Structure formats: C-alpha cells, structure tokens
Amino acid sequence: MQIVKREGASAKQIIMIRLIAIIAAILVSGIFIVCLGYNPVKVYANMISGALGSKIRFRSTLIEMVPLVITSLGILVAFKMKFWNIGGEGQILMGAFAATYIALFADWVPKFLVIPVMFIVGFLAGGIWGLIPAFFKAKFGANETIMTLMLNYIATQWITYLQYGPWRDPKLKGFAKIANFPDHALLPKVFGVHIGLIIALVLVVVISWFLRKTKRGFEIAVVGESVSTARYAGMDISRIIIATMLLSGGLCGITGVIQAAGVNKTLTMNVSSGYGFTAVITTYLSGLSAPRVLIVSFLFAILLQGGSYIQSALQIPQAAADVLQGMILFCALGSEFFVNYKIRFTRKNSISPEVK
C-alpha cells in the first residue's frame, strides 16, 4: 500500500470525495446514536431544527457564526504565509481585555466614540499579542506553534487575575465578575443580530481582496510558498512576518471586542469560548479561501448550535453531543486527505527496491 500525492484532482472527483465523507459521517454517527438508544433520524432532524427551525434559532446560529468567520480570517492570513498561528484564543482574550478597559475605565473617551475606540484598541491588543511570536520567529527562528499556544495560557490567566482581582465588581459582594458594559459600549443590533454580523461579511470581502489584489497579499503568498524565492526576489521576510501577524492577531482581537460587547456584555475568561481553536479547523476546511470561510463557518455554526439544542430537547449528555460533533468533523477532515492524496495498492513483488 502506497500513499501517493494526487495531482490535479478534478472537480467531479472532489465532489465525489466530499459526498462519500458526508455519507460516512451520517452512517458512523448514526451507529453511535443507536448505541446511545436514540433514533438517528430524530436526532439529525432536531439538530437542523435547533439551528434553523425558527427566527430565534437562526439568529443564534448567525451569532455563533460571526466569531468563527472573523477568527478564521485571522488564522487564514497567517496560514497563507505558513505561519502556524494556534494563538487565536489568546488574541481574542487580549482584544476583549483592551475593549473592556475602554468600556469601563476610559472616562476620557466621549460616549459616541467608545465603540469605535474599542475596536481600534482591540485590534491593536490582539495584533501585539500576535507580534510576540512573530518577532521571535523572524529574528531567532523560534517555533511559532509552541509560542502562540503558550501565549493562550498567559492570556487566560491574565483575564482570570483581573476577574478575581482588581477588576472584580465590588457591588457584587465578593462574586468574581467584572461589571457589565454600559449601554453606550454595547454593539447595536441589525435584524435582531449584533452588528458584528455586518463586520464579518465586510471583512470576508476585504480580506479576499487583500490577499488576491494587493502587493502585501502577494508577498504573503510568496513567503508561504518559498522563503528562499521571497528572499531572492528582495523581500524583507522579517517585516512581512511581523506585519502579517499584526493583521492576523488584530482580526482575532476584533472577535474579542464583538464577543465582549455584543454577546457577553462583559469580560470573562470564557469570552473566547474555544473559537480560536475551532477556527483552525474551519480555516483548514475552507482551503485557505476567504469566501469559503463564510460557508464553512456557517455550516460549523449549525453543527454547534444543533448540538447544543439536542442536549436540552432530547436530553442527550453534553459529552455525547461533543463526541457526535467530533465524529462528523473527523469524517470532514478525513476527506481533505483523500482530496490531496490517494492510496495505491500493488503486489509485493511488483514494488521496486527503492519503494521497499
């Protein structure tokens, strides 16, 4: 058995692989559901109904989609450069931290400017958090995967310290919670969903244009394809890495602002809700395409929202719902392998000595 790189898979082949993955996901998860003692058809119907069955549920799915889209765009920019940014969680938290400071403590900011300033400082805070591993990668060749991952824990502990320490609301008589944002620091709503939805849609267009049509986007792609080629072309590799991670971390920081001011209405250590890690999956499944990020994030939001719904509607344990989601994702990710590679079976005596 040999694993061979698939060269130039046709659109028909890709569609067939995706369909087989979907069928496999339905069958494998169906077996798991039967083992739990439930009707698979009923569970699947409730998942779809829980995500799309009413206006309120559909809005909840859109609210779930927004942070996935924006964080995925941030991760996508870094991945396009082959910079493995696994620090979305920390960058989201630091963006939320900066926005919270403006919302609760920056009395010098006029009320009508509070939300714009929150987005600016949130972008900068997330970007600076992304600059730290970028600097060490550019100057010393440090492993960005480990550094970005470790920075997540630092950011989480920093927010925890603020929540249980200096920023704890004294009016709550010792309960560890930061005060809610004032009304002028909360995101306005459009069609029943906070304005973050509009921001996400605009960012999809902007990032798609940036990567395809601008010089900076071209430089990111070249560095991602070959650092040697980029260096031969006279590109400043260090500058490109640092600037790209400023943008990548900044986009994740915007997610933090939206979650703090549009959903949680305060800052907590759970404001990121795992979106930084989930976005790695959605980015990979999108094939590093900004328009596809929107589609994949919407489908993933249906999965998340539907999974939450069946826990209450059918009394399915949370752990079982998480396993169900994981099995579906496993099949989806597995299809990516077969899009890029194929398995070739040959007789043992027909394999060349080099292959042996």
Band the pLDDT of 356: cuts 50, 70, 90: very low
* Least trusted range by pLDDT, from 9-13, 51-55, 178-182, 282-286: 9-13
Q: What's the rounded Cα separation, in Å, for the pair 135 and 152?
A: 17
**How would residue 345 be classed by pLDDT, with cut points 50, 70 and 90?**
confident
Residue-level pLDDT at 145: 92
- How confident is the model at residue 317, as a pLDDT? 87
| Close Cβ partners of 103 (under 8 Å, ≥ 6 residues apart) | 114, 118, 181, 182, 185, 260, 261
Chain mean pLDDT for the chain: 90
Instruction: Note the CATH architecture for domain 64-312.
Output: Orthogonal Bundle (1.10)
Domain spans, the chain: 1-38+316-356, 64-312
pLDDT digits (tens, 9 = 90+) for 123-160: 999 999 999 999 999 999 899 999 999 999 999 999 99
Please check the confidence at residue 166 and state whether its pLDDT lies above 50: yes
Alpha carbon distance 292, 134 (integer Å): 26
pLDDT tens track for 317-331: 888 888 888 888 888
Q: Kindly report the pTM of this predicted structure.
A: 0.90
Q: Would the CA dihedral through 324, 325, 328, 330 be positive or negative?
A: negative
Rg (CA), the chain: 22
